[in-house]
């Protein structure tokens, strides 16, 4: 007799599950929802992350972007080329290390990112549904601590 796994939220895929598995399950569901939503704009989740990081931290190099976006340098290289081709980001040489390129979001990229943020905010509202502001703060703190400590 073959047992079928329960749907997300039940059994080992719910409160009885391992924390690491549940984090992965939640991340997978969130990423899929984000990818589907951003696809309407012709943007991938990694492109959205790169644009978001460049708006928050203008002037990052490709290597720095790879670290903060948690992507491989090769993936970031492809993303940078595509975003630059589309006019969403631009490069400037580093003032001290001339061979290092710094990347910033253009007006076109900022407008695209604003559209992406609206899509992301809708997903964030779904994630936070039913949670108090205090519960959200505790979850954010817990998730940030996990990322910093592991």
pLDDT digits (tens, 9 = 90+) for 10-40: 888 888 889 999 999 999 999 999 999 999 9
**Residues 21-149, CATH architecture:** Orthogonal Bundle (1.10)
Residue 109 pLDDT: 98
Tokens of 101: 């390129």
Per-domain boundaries in the chain? 21-149
Mean pLDDT, all residues of the chain: 94
Residue 100 has pLDDT above 90, yes or no: no
Q: At what angle do helices 62-69 and 45-56 cross, to 10 degrees?
A: 110
* Selected residue with higher pLDDT from 27 and 95: 27
Residue 5 pLDDT: 86
**pLDDT band, residue 95 (cuts 50/70/90):** confident
Residue 61 has φ and ψ, to the nearest 5°, of -85, 170
* Average pLDDT for 92-116: 92
For β-strands 101-105 and 89-93, DSSP reports them as: antiparallel
Q: What percent of the chain has pLDDT over 70?
A: 100
> If you write DSSP's letter for every residue of 32-50 in order, what string do you get?
HHHHHHHHTTT--HHHHHH
């Amino acid at each position: 007799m073959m047992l079928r796994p329960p749907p997300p939220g039940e059994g080992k895929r719910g409160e009885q599950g391992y924390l690491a598995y549940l984090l992965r399950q939640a991340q997978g569901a969130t990423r899929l929802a984000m990818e589907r939503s951003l696809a309407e704009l012709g943007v991938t989740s990694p492109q959205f992350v790169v644009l978001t990081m460049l708006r928050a931290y203008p002037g990052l190099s490709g290597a720095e972007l790879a670290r903060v976006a948690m992507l491989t340098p090769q993936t970031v290289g492809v993303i940078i080329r595509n975003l630059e081709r589309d006019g969403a980001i631009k490069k400037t040489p580093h003032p001290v290390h001339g061979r290092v390129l710094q990347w910033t979001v253009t007006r076109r990229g900022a407008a695209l990112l604003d559209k992406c943020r609206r899509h992301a905010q809708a997903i964030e509202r779904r994630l936070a549904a039913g949670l108090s502001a205090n519960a959200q703060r505790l979850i954010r703190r817990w998730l940030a601590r996990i990322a910093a400590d592991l």
